[in-house]
Structure 1
Amino acid sequence: MESTMKEMRDGASVLDFDSKSTVEGGVEDVYGEDRATEDQLVTPWTISVASGYCLLRDPRHNKGLAFTEKERDAHYLRGLLPPAVISQQLQEKKLMNSIRQYEVPLQKYVAMMELERNERLFYKLLIDNVEELLPVVYTPTVGEACQKYGSIFRRPQGLYISLKEKGKILEVLKNWPERSIQVIVVTDGERILGLGDLGCQGMGIPVGKLALYTALGGIRPSACLPITVDVGTNNEQLLKDEFYIGLRQRRATGQEYAELLDEFMSAVKQNYGEKVLIQFEDFANHNAFELLAKYGTTHLVFNDDIQGTASVVLAGVVAALKLIGGTLAEHRFLFLGAGEAGTGIAELIALEISKQTKAPVEETRKKICLVDSKGLIVSSRKDSLQHFKKPWAHEHEPVNNLLDAVKVIKPTILIGSSGVGRTFTKEVIEAMASFNEKPLILALSNPTSQSECTAEEAYTWSKGRAIFASGSPFDPFEYNGKVFVPGQANNAYIFPGFGLGLVISGAIRVHDDMLLAASEALAKQVTEENFEKGLIYPPFSNIRKISANIAANVAAKAYELGVATRLPRPQNLVKCAESCMYTPVYRNYR
């Protein structure tokens, strides 16, 4: 190896590395293809990287002013940088000062995205300041970024596969420079957050999600691939927008749509193998359920809107039992919203109750009622319901609106996933508080403008008795001298650790029991100190530790179910997860 390095052409930048053939804990990987982090990879550091001017424009290897005097001489950088040499820590401090000067969140988002010229500094910033920057690179700011993506578009990020590429998707995948991909996040842009059809501009979502896979879950950036499948858009405003970057046509549907997606899924498996995780993101309800059902038995697939949301909400509910009392089976649940998020959460809660009580899931579903735009979902509506709503059509008199449903069903837990803002009205919250000492109110719709109610409204209308969490972040609120800290039921708690668990176990399929395992691991991370503030989720400042614990629990379940391919199983899965995490500190050049 050393002799090979010495034989390299003069002027090529070479990085020091520690040769490792195994990840701590016994996960062996001869080729280095499936490692979660490039810090355990040998291959990239045995070859030359760019030098001089090109090195400064290579995001993965650029260090900016952190290049030492010796490195500047060795790699033809002298004169290409100002004379000062500063540390990564000082670079981070300078950039955070700069980002904090912006008052408009979208400006902060653009500033962060421009940091892609220095990949390690971007992730160092995000990891060290996760609570402050998460709302910038993800919910809620990413929603506005997608709406204005055509205007703020600087350079291509990720891979765009449109109807023009039909019949040659495998060739398109081969155009991506990385060969060893572990996680793909793909969207068709039809249902971006609560904002609707944003077409090709939905790319902001896969890009943002994968930044979190790296920052929060430790999956190396080069193993992540954001993809937008562009089948057109039905958004008239975008079709007329001269800056729109996607196909200018109405959405393809039916057979044309199904054939493109089928070709895409086959090409991904052919190009990246059985163990690549494909995360479906922000597909419309009618496609989301079908794609998950169709490919769940043949690919390693995960739908964050259905499964990730369900897992994070279940974790919050389980943790909240410490505050509201009782077992899961003793509570009554009412949902506003019966789309992919609502029905996904409801099903996972029913599965967990079934697991705890040994009752059939058909029975445990009866503890959960759903309200959609036409009122309570009841058996008399069954013939007109979409297939994913039918399991929730219980024997009950029709109820036309949420307030009446709350009064009739008297739920202990109210969950909003409707995508419609301000639907948890004063009357609804007051009704919840009238028959619950501590009503659990979860207003999950994103972005902030679509939240069913604000933290202030929930606390004020319940006279400070509500336990509240939301999908978008809200500031702490003081009521009657007590400061309430609202929790955020953010999928970012779950999917990065979940993905890491699949990677370290080499899982080839996702199973519902893995989602339950992720929820249980997250719920256990909530401390007494958190509960005292009314929190049902731990602070994001500990997210890497949380992700490692989730990954370990998910991996353990994969081994138990027989879908793990990494053998032998590591003795300590938490240590294994931590040792596999990407760290964004600069590498040394020689």
Structure 2
Amino acid sequence: MLSRLKLNVRPCAYFSRCMHTVEKGRPLMLSPRTNKGMAFTLEERQILGLHGLLPPKIETQDVQAMRFKKNLERIRSPLTKGVFISILDKGHVRSILDNWPETNIKAVVVTDGERILGLGDLGVYGMGIPVGKLCLYTTCAGIDPRGCLPVCIDVGTDNETLLKDPFYLGLYQKRDHSHHYDELIDEFMEAIVNKYGRSTLIQFEDFGNHNAFRFLKKYKDKYCTFNDDIQGTASVALAGLFSAQRVIQKPITEHRYLFLGAGEAALGIADLIVMSMKETGMPEEEAQKKIWMFDKFGLICEGRSEAIEGNQEAYAHPAPDKSTKTFLDAVNVLQPTTIIGVAGAGRLFTKEVISAMGRINERPIIFALSNPTTQAECTAEEAYTLTEGRCLFACGSPFDPVTLPDGRVLKSGQGNNAYIFPGVALAVIVFGVRKISDQVFLEAAKALADQVTNEELAEGLLYPNLSNIREVSINTAVKIAEFLYANGLALEYPEPKDKRKFLLSKMWKTNYESFVPDIYDWPESATRLPSL
């Protein structure tokens, strides 16, 4: 009887193991989470029952990456990669989120498409921004793409061209600026945290100036949220100023700042500069007096006829005695040590402006931060040439190195937000944060500036090489983590002794050799033994 039982059990167990392995292999190949494609080795193909289901060639991961890049370049629309919520969905946002296949969401990037940098109101076509930002989360900071959710909230568009386009994919209506808009955003925020948890990171991107500041003020103490256009831009700009400080040995408290532009980027940078000055003991009001802003109507001064928004009031000072009708006038009258361009209006740092900065200062600081290149306030060549290589220059768009008449070659540091927001997001997600204070972005600026080498500074760079962006993001996240734990803002306990090692253990692995699938990676059908 026992011998017959053994005979029956052995073939059954053997058959089950074989079937179980084969059943695992096929779902592995069919799931984009785990499919290695042509990189499955011959041994893996045989064990997993995939032999003959793939062409005989075995490719390296590098070759696969090149093929994927080539195919990706053919894709022109990000519209198939994200969640869309419209004003017509008010009252049903949670049910829309329930349709998204992933349930373990850690980071959300959301836009309403109103102020796409350099392009204006793109309505539903603004989806490319959240998709792109989350790609940088993964590329720059190793954040698992399965935990990332891009969202476009469609409340209409004021872009007449799109409203007349029969192929436009969004709502054919003017933007809804009524209370329904605010109610929809409120519902969205609450739906996100109810479904994914209070620690879910929500990044606002490319909202109009007025809404961007309103929502940041409204939500930052209630949700784990930040606005990259305001806070990320501010942090990367301040990091550039910290780097400049190392070169000229002049603290930021002794500079005079003149902004070209007075929108969310300018105000975000100015507020963070003030915070940094306050940290040294300078009173807030005294710090604010060192900052001036010039917008499309001219210098922002007390009592001017043109409207001054509430967020600009702190930088509206008594008008100078002399006329400042043009930006050049403002430079000559105010004698700034630093000019920062964030207007997105093109070449307004003219030859005369740059020359004046070089005449006023031995080492002028010139930041032309507007994107894209066509909207930059000046080029690196103009800044370096007109100041005889004496200026400290940073840009929003990349420029080629500049060779001066004396043979020196100077590079320009690109003040890209990618230096900041991926590292911030990594720290926030891994160490469990429910509120992101402004101080986090001050700490991120310090961490970024500290990573610029003396050799890079000598070359004219105020930021680390972008090729090291993954390492930069990790180092920044470590510094932020130290701040979070020191101030009781982290929820991951016990506190990791080696925070860098802990971060590395949580980062998404992209190479097959180090990737070991866990239960989260296996398709459901691969985790069950087949029925016999």
Same fold (TM over 0.5): yes
- 2:77–2:128 contact (8 Å) kept in structure 1: no
Say if 1:374 and 1:401, in contact at 8 Å, map to a contact too.
Answer: no
* Counterpart position of 2:23: 12
Which whole-Å CA distance do the structure 2 matches of 1:299 and 1:65 have between them? 43
For residues 269 and 533 of structure 1, what CA distance do their matches in structure 2 show? 46
* C-alpha distance in structure 2 between counterparts of 1:171 and 1:430, whole Å: 59
Residue 455 of structure 2 corresponds to residue 539 of structure 1: no
The one-letter code matched in structure 1 to 2:302 is: S
TM-score by length of 1: 0.81
In structure 2, relative to structure 1, the CA distance for the partners of 1:566 and 1:458 (3 Å cut) is same
2:27 corresponds in structure 1 to 50
In structure 2, do the counterparts of structure 1 residues 63 and 469 end up closer, same or farther at CA, with 3 Å as the change threshold? Answer: same
Deviations 1:155-182 (A, max 9, x none): 6101111123211100111111111111
Determine helix, strand or coil for the equivalent of 2:27. Answer: coil
Q: Are the equivalent residues in 2 in contact too, given 1:187–1:228 (CA < 8 A)? A: yes
Query: Does residue 100 of structure 2 align to residue 169 of structure 1?
Result: no
Separation in structure 1 between the aligned mates of residue 168 and residue 215 of structure 2, nearest angstrom: 27
* Greater shift in the superposed pair: 491-500 or 541-550: 541-550
Which one-letter code corresponds to 1:235 in the other structure?
A: N
Does residue 1:467 correspond to 2:467, yes or no?
Answer: no
Q: How does 1:228-267 map onto structure 2 within 5 Å?
A: 228-267=152-191
Deviation at 1:565, TM superposition (A): 1.1
Q: Alignment partner of 2:98: what SS?
A: helix
SS of equivalent to 1:388: helix
Q: Name the CA distance, whole Å, in 1 between partners of 2:114 and 2:78.
A: 23
1:416 and 1:438, CA in 2 relative to 1: closer, same or farther beyond 3 A?
Answer: same
Residue 541 of structure 1 and its aligned partner are, at CA, apart by 1.7
Match of 2:8 in 1: none
Instruction: State the match for 1:111 in structure 2.
Output: 72
- Equivalence for 2:81: 157
- Alignment correspondent of 2:364: 439
2:415 pairs with one of 485, 489, 497? 489
Deviation track 1:259-293 (CA, whole Å, cap 9, x = no partner) reads 11111011011111110010000000010000001
- Distance verdict in 2 for CA 1:7–1:312, change over 3 Å: farther
Counterpart for residue 373 of structure 2: 448
Alignment of 1:75-474 (within 5 A): 75=48, 77-92=50-65, 94-95=66-67, 111-112=72-73, 152-153=76-77, 156-356=80-280, 358-381=281-304, 384-397=307-320, 399-474=324-399
Counterpart for residue 495 of structure 2: 569
Match in the other structure for 1:579 = 505
2:428 match: 502
Q: Which residue identity does 1:522 align to in structure 2?
A: L
Q: 1:167 to 1:392 in 2, by over 3 A?
A: same
Structure 1 6/291 Cα, relative in aligned 2: closer, same or farther at 3 Å?
Answer: farther
Task: Write the distance in 2 (CA, Å) between the matches of 1:488 and 1:6.
Answer: 56
Q: 1:65 aligns with which of 33, 38, 62?
A: 38
Cα pair distance change 1:8/1:72, threshold 3 Å: closer
What are the Cα deviations for residues 488-524 of structure 1, in whole angstroms up to 9, with x where unaligned?
A: 0000000000111112221110111111110110000
- Partner SS for 1:13: helix
Q: 1:10 to 1:77 in 2, by over 3 A?
A: closer
Matched position secondary structure for 2:218: helix
Cα 1:403–1:301 change in 2 (3 A) is: same
User: How far is 1:112 from its partner?
Assistant: 4.4
**How big is the shift at 1:572?**
2.3
| 1:346-382 residue CA offsets vs partner (Å, 9 max, x unmatched) | 00001101101x1222221111111111111111239
Root-mean-square deviation (CA, aligned residues, Å) is 2.1
In structure 1, distance between residues paired with 2:298 and 2:238: 24
Amino acid in the other structure paired with 1:488: Q
Q: What are the Cα deviations for residues 175-224 of structure 1, in whole angstroms up to 9, with x where unaligned? A: 11111111110000000012110111111111111011111111111111
2:443 is aligned to: 517
Sequence identity of aligned pairs in percent? 49
Could you tell me whether the CA contact under 8 Å between 2:237 and 2:415 is conserved in 1?
A: yes
- Report what 2:10 is aligned to: none
What is the CA–CA distance in structure 2 between the aligned matches of 1:371 and 1:170, rounded to whole Å? Answer: 43
- Within 1, Cα distance between the matches of 2:293 and 2:505? 43
* Equivalent residue number for residue 40 of structure 1: none
**Equivalent residue letter for 1:275:** S
CA contact (8 A) 1:11 1:51 kept: no
SS at match of 1:370: strand
- Hey, what's the Cα distance between the residues in 1 that align with 2:317 and 2:511? 55
**Cα offset, 1:256, TM superposition:** 1.4
Tell me if structure 2 keeps the 8 A contact 1:382–1:393. Answer: no
| 1:313–1:489 contact (8 Å) kept in structure 2 | yes
1:160 alignment partner AA: F
Give the residue type in structure 1 aligned to 2:72: A
Q: Which moved more, 1:470-479 or 1:203-212?
A: 470-479
Q: Deviations over 1:438-485 (max 9, x none)?
A: 211111111111111111111122222222111111111212111111
After TM superposition, the score normalised by the length of structure 2 is 0.89
Match of 2:13 in 1: none
Uncovered stretches (5+) of structure 2, i.e. residues with no partner: 1-15, 518-525, 527-532
User: What amino acid sits opposite 2:44 in the alignment?
Assistant: E
* 1:363-411 per-position Cα deviation (integer Å, ceiling 9, x unaligned): 2111111111111111123982111111111122362221111111111
What amino acid is the match of 1:197? D
* Separation (CA, whole Å) in 1 of partners of 2:359 and 2:298: 22
Please give the per-residue CA displacement for 1:313-364, whole angstroms capped at 9, x wherever unaligned.
00010011122331111111110011000000000001101101x1222221
| 3-state SS, counterpart of residue 286 of structure 1 | helix
Deviation per residue, 1:113-161 (Å, 9 max, x gap): 75xxxxxxxxxxxxxxxxxxxxxxxxxxxxxxxxxxxxx3376101111
Deviations 1:28-63 (A, max 9, x none): xxxxxxxxxxxxxxxxxxxxx7255xx1xx322222
Aligned residue in 2 for 1:557: 483
Residue 554 of structure 1 aligns with an amino acid whose one-letter code is: I
The 1:155/1:412 distance shift into structure 2, 3 A limit, reads: closer
Give yes or no for contact 2:109–2:133 (8 Å, CA) kept in 1: yes
Structure 1 or 2, whichever has the larger Rg, is: 2
Which among 368, 390, 404 is matched to residue 479 of structure 1?
404
Question: Counterpart amino acid of 1:85?
Answer: I
- Distance in 2 between residues matched to 1:303 and 1:474, nearest whole Å: 27
Could you tell me whether the CA contact under 8 Å between 1:187 and 1:282 is conserved in 2? yes
Aligned residues: 498
Partners of 1:155 and 1:199 lie apart in 2 by 12
Q: Cα distance, 1:588 vs. partner?
A: 6.4
Distance 1:569 1:197, change over 3 A: same
For 1:265 and 1:382, the matched residues in 2 are separated by 38
Describe the shift of the 1:227–1:248 C-alpha distance in structure 2 as closer, same or farther (beyond 3 A).
same
Q: Relative to structure 1, is the Cα distance of residues 361 and 578 closer, same or farther in structure 2, using a 3 angstrom cutoff?
A: farther
